[in-house]
Amino acid sequence: MENIEVIAPFAAGPASAVLVMLMVLGAVYQLVTRQLIPLASSALQRHLTALDTLVETNTQYHQQNREDHQAIIAALVALEKEIARRSAS
């Protein structure tokens, strides 16, 4: 009987607090690994997909912009040649 009386304060006090803390940590670990990590992973994947789309759109825009500038330069060169030809005659 004396063994139980010696162990009882520890079982009701610090030992039970440690046990409860371990159970809480286990629940938090399961919450993080089963819910938060997959959620963050899917959000990251959506973000990377959006970035890929943005890069592709930006590349197409710059290609079109380059073609437009080359067309303007070609028109200006032709105009300059026409002006030079008319002023020479």
- Name the residue with tokens 């380059």: 66
Angle at 79 between CA 76 and CA 80, to 5 degrees: 85
The range of the structural domain enclosing residue 55 comes to 2-88
pLDDT at 17: 82
pLDDT at 30: 95
pLDDT at 18: 84
Burial of 55 (0-12, 13-18, 19+ CB in 10 A): exposed
* Residue 84 amino acid letter: A
Left (φ > 0), alpha (ψ -120 to 50) or beta: where does 4 sit?
alpha
pTM metric for this prediction: 0.52
Q: What are phi and psi of 13, to 5 degrees?
A: -105, -105
pLDDT at 1: 54
Structural domains counted in the chain: 1
> How far is Cα 86 from Cα 57, in angstroms, rounded to an integer?
43
| Regions of the chain short of the pLDDT cut 50 | none
